[in-house]
Amino acid sequence: MLDVSGLTAGYGHGPVVQDVALQVERGETVALLGPNGAGKSTLLGALSGTLRHRSGHALMDGQDLLTLPTHAIVAAGLVQVPEGRRMFAPLSVEDNLRLGAVRLAGRSASTLAARFDYVYTLFPRLAERRLQRAGTLSGGEQQMVAIGRALMSSPRVLLLDEPFLGLAPLVVDEILSALTALRAQGLTMVLVEQKLDIALPFTSRAHVLIKGRVALTLPSAELARRPDLPRLYFDLAHSAR
């Protein structure tokens, strides 16, 4: 589904992510682990096109995403849920969701309505609050809007950047069960996460990014059984730089 190779990316003063290779199969959920500052968000930004200083390849069904502008990447079906949610605070929940529907531009009103239904079924709380201003929502509800907004364009690959950051355990569970439903429907996902107890049970494979390079790639279940796991916990909890 997604085949990344030789990906190097940064902000114009030296690479932050270097020579990354990463494969994601159709319907697979892959974890991208790594300490703060390892380059996880930079890597997602390079794939989704929000970051311009990038080289290498990111093939999705034979098309190289790195040659495309952001809107064309979304149109190809790769959509990112950014770190920190990035709501349009003065806009309603519904208007925030509508902004995510760019890939449906030009499609029928019933297609759009079906997408709203889909998101509101997944997150009933958003249906209750659809006219509320996004800026007045709780952190968990804002995260639901961020995920819902990405889903509005019917993504084929969803990139999630630390969606649970700063959320209370109950809300984490609520969002995790929505993501579990998406996984059961066969949606392909890449989950950036620092907490192994969330990431490993949810994913089939894990890539560990250390200082901008993939240091380890293996099945999540195998990683969970490794005797050096406490060491990895320790490394992930500490800054790479």
Ligand X SMILES: Nc1ncnc2c1ncn2[C@@H]1O[C@H](COP(=O)(O)OP(=O)(O)O)[C@@H](O)[C@H]1O
- Residues of the shown chain interacting with ligand X in the complex, contacts defined by CB under 6 A: 11, 16, 34, 36-42, 241
Measure the CA–CA gap between 46 and 50, rounded to whole angstroms.
Answer: 6
Q: In the bound complex, what is the minimum distance in angstroms from residue 161's beta carbon to Mg ion?
A: 6
Q: In the bound complex, what is the minimum distance in angstroms from residue 98's beta carbon to ligand X?
A: 28
Interface stretch with Mg ion, choices 1-9, 14-22, 68-76, 77-85 (CB under 5 A): 77-85
Q: In the bound complex, what is the minimum distance in angstroms from residue 231's beta carbon to ligand X?
A: 19
CB of 40 or CB of 54, closer to ligand X: 40
Residue 219 bridge partners (DSSP) = 205
Q: Is 203 in the site for Mg ion (CB under 5 A)?
A: no
Element (H, E) at 116: helix 109-122
CB of 35 or CB of 152, closer to ligand X: 35
87 and 146 Cβ atoms separated by less than 8 Å: yes
CB of 97 or CB of 236, closer to Mg ion: 236
Q: In the bound complex, what is the minimum distance in angstroms from residue 83's beta carbon to Mg ion?
A: 5
Of ligand X, Mg ion, none, which one does residue 27 interact with (CB within 5 to 8 Å by kind)?
none
Which residue, chain included where needed, has tokens 């994913």? 203
By CB under 5 A, the residues from 83 to 112 that bind Mg ion are 83
Interface stretch with Mg ion, choices 20-28, 78-86, 92-100, 181-189 (CB under 5 A): 78-86
33 and 206 Cβ atoms separated by less than 8 Å: yes
**DSSP E strand boundaries for 40-185:** 54-60, 63-64, 78-81, 157-161
DSSP reduced 3-state for 110: helix
Buried b (16+ CB within 10 A) or exposed e, 197-209: ebbbebbbbbbbb
Q: Site for Mg ion (CB under 5 A): which residue of 4, 39, 41, 129?
A: 41
Q: In the bound complex, what is the minimum distance in angstroms from residue 241's beta carbon to ligand X?
A: 5
Report the residue closest to Mg ion, judged by CB.
41
CB of 41 or CB of 152, closer to Mg ion: 41
CB of 41 or CB of 188, closer to ligand X: 41
Measure the CA–CA gap between 129 and 96, rounded to whole angstroms.
Answer: 12
- From the list 82, 17, 76, 86, the residue with the least C-alpha distance to 46 is 17
10 and 16 Cβ atoms separated by less than 8 Å: yes
Measure the CA–CA gap between 143 and 134, rounded to whole angstroms.
Answer: 10
Q: In the bound complex, what is the minimum distance in angstroms from residue 236's beta carbon to ligand X?
A: 10
